[in-house]
Structure 1
Amino acid sequence: MSILKNIFAKKENPINSPADFWVWFQENEQAFYRVVKGRDKIEEDFFDRLAPKLQELKEGIYFLSGMMDDETAELIFTPDGIVKNVAFIEDLVAAAPSLKNWKFTSLKPAVDISRFNIRMNNYEFSKEKINFYAVEHPQYPDEVDLVIVYDDYTASDKAIITNGVYIFLDNLLGELNAITSIDNLSVIGPDEAAGTLIPILKLKDYLVWREKEFIEKYEGMRYDTEKDSYVGLEGTLENGMPLIALINRTILDWDAKASHPWIVRVEIAYKANENGFPDESTYQLLNQVEDELIEVLPDTAGYLNLGRETVDGNRDIFFACKDFRLPARVLEQMKMKYKSDFSLGYAIYKDKYWQSFERYKG
């Protein structure tokens, strides 16, 4: 039996927190370092050991690893584009111990993409093969809508090519910038292009310029919901179940929505009656959750409560936010606090003009 198998044969404690994870990693880091440096059986003796521990800690945390130099191994944690996991990864790396032969990085950093190419499934992704242009929307002037034009685009391999382009952009821009600076992105071939092509290496400068304009326009923008009017709405789902919504109608007419581009949808599943609604005690508890969220995510700090929907055993609570990190941290804590009462989940997505709420303006 190898030394590594002897090491890993002992019973390991469960991973319930970042602290647990780093205790476990420190117990094995010398063996892991030898594997990464030697590049021998790295999948079996490192990746296959690390992946289950990260999934035990939190679903949706991925990683890359390699040697930075002759003496330092780097471990990069990535949410693979899932916005709500960014803050968790940043906190995980912030809690990492200082280890002589390791560097821990949150999210994939930008690299000099002009110096190498990416090859996937017989396709090459390089600066020579990728261009872009921007689509302007007069009704949504702050929207960053990009069309990426790939020379070897084939419709039958759209998913493969799109994935390759996303990986290329992560390396060109850095993963965080790729997630936060682009609102919409599509990938096409040269025959479909409807704009003047710009070399992909100029994309970073273009995004810096757009971000500078955005900050100058909205810096310091705040909204006070105290005097807003909320309206009650009723509807029916296709399955016949009734829906009740309470929506901040005043804020939907605000002309600076883009200053709060991140939408947080809190999803609470509860035990419902025959009409899909909660009983009185559950109703009060749901309101308690919403009140707590409004207290810890105040409008003065950039977190605007847009309203809620209650239907068919589910209550969704909506916020428009200047940033996505605090809501993610708060909601992870709320999931634990109320796990014996509800199944609480959440989604975070970018909707700079709150287009997903147009249905409430009629």
Structure 2
Amino acid sequence: MNIKNIFKKKKNLTEDEKAERFWSWFQKSQNRFLFLSDIDGEEKENLLDEFLTEIHKFNENVYFEIGGHKDDEKVELIISAEGDIDYFPAVEKLTELAPNFKNWKVIAFKPAMGTGFSLDYRDKKFDPEKIIFIPLNSKSNPESVGLNVCYPDFEESDEEIFVNGTYLILDTILGEKSTTMDIDYLKVIKTPENIADYNFGHLSDIAEHIAEKKTYANNG
């Protein structure tokens, strides 16, 4: 006797359909997130968890930030791949398919914010005006950007903290996409005792350094 399967096979949604599903949810739920910065405690955590669950239904490697200046007309919704280039196309796809919202500005990737700031990360202070980098040059690929980023208190046991703090600084100065696409090599080291012998710069000037490299490549 043939037994028919009465359960329908679950449809595998395309990327476009997943994006449309996410934006359909967001259109219905958007007002609950407009004043997220004014909410504290468990309620805020629940909203963030809900949003993360929904955006991960589109892609588990795509993330978000909600913010912007309180006097801005629109709240910023930043879609991010957390610097993972493999998922940049997913970020671009999701933002391309975003509807126009009256109260929201949807942005692909963490935008460049420039300098004039410092941040505390894991009990360490990161100030781009004080952090030194030594440019590295490649004879075979002269337009590539390589950096040794120097810290006087660097210890190998804390390497992860220094690396993550450095990338947080770069993401803020350059934006997520430029940090990932324009920097080919980065290593965190202890500041050399003879640092004065090097042609070093400060991370606050990193955008200018990258621009010079690109100019060299275009004119070369």
TM-score (norm 1): 0.52
Q: Which residue, out of 191, 194, 205, partners 1:202?
A: 205
| Cα pair 1:181 1:211 within 8 Å, conserved | no
Percent sequence identity over matched residues?
29
Structure-2 separation of matches of 1:79 and 1:154: 29
- The correspondence of residues 119-268 of structure 1 with structure 2, limited to 5 A, is 119-191=120-192, 195-217=198-220
Unaligned runs of 5+ in 1: 1-13, 218-362
| Cα pair 1:110 1:171 within 8 Å, conserved | yes
| Cα pair 1:67 1:73 within 8 Å, conserved | yes
Q: Which moved more, 1:191-200 or 1:166-175?
A: 191-200
Structure-2 separation of matches of 1:170 and 1:37: 21
| Cα pair 1:17 1:57 within 8 Å, conserved | yes
Residue 108 of structure 1 aligns to a residue whose secondary structure is coil
Q: CA RMSD in A?
A: 2.2
> Where does residue 31 of structure 1 map in the other structure?
32
- The correspondence of residues 296-315 of structure 1 with structure 2, limited to 5 A, is none
> Where does residue 18 of structure 1 map in the other structure?
19
Unaligned runs of 5+ in 2: 1-12
Structure-2 separation of matches of 1:170 and 1:119: 15
Structure number, greater radius of gyration? 1
- Cα deviation per residue 1:213-262 (whole Å; 9 max; x = unaligned)? 22344xxxxxxxxxxxxxxxxxxxxxxxxxxxxxxxxxxxxxxxxxxxxx
- Cα deviation per residue 1:182-239 (whole Å; 9 max; x = unaligned)? 111111121375733212222111101111222344xxxxxxxxxxxxxxxxxxxxxx
The one-letter amino acid paired with 1:203 is I
Structure-2 separation of matches of 1:28 and 1:104: 15
* Structure 1 residues 216 and 48, CA gap change in structure 2 (3 angstroms): same
Structure with greater contact order relative to length (CA < 8 Å, sep ≥ 6): 2
* Structure 1 residues 55 and 26, CA gap change in structure 2 (3 angstroms): same
> Where does residue 66 of structure 1 map in the other structure?
67
TM-aligned CA deviation for residue 78 of structure 1: 1.0
Residue 143 of structure 1 aligns to a residue whose secondary structure is coil
TM-aligned CA deviation for residue 113 of structure 1: 2.4
TM-score (norm 2): 0.83
> Where does residue 40 of structure 1 map in the other structure?
40
Q: Which residue, out of 79, 85, 88, partners 2:87?
A: 85
- Cα deviation per residue 1:62-108 (whole Å; 9 max; x = unaligned)? 11122433353211111111112112212211221222221111111
| Cα pair 1:63 1:76 within 8 Å, conserved | yes
* Structure 1 residues 68 and 93, CA gap change in structure 2 (3 angstroms): farther
Residue 153 of structure 1 aligns to a residue whose secondary structure is coil
Structure-2 separation of matches of 1:204 and 1:86: 21
Structure-1 separation of matches of 2:109 and 2:140: 33
| Cα pair 1:77 1:105 within 8 Å, conserved | yes
> Where does residue 102 of structure 1 map in the other structure?
104
The one-letter amino acid paired with 2:57 is E
* Structure 1 residues 101 and 151, CA gap change in structure 2 (3 angstroms): farther
Structure-1 separation of matches of 2:143 and 2:96: 33
| Cα pair 2:18 2:57 within 8 Å, conserved | no
> Where does residue 5 of structure 2 map in the other structure?
none
* Structure 1 residues 138 and 112, CA gap change in structure 2 (3 angstroms): closer
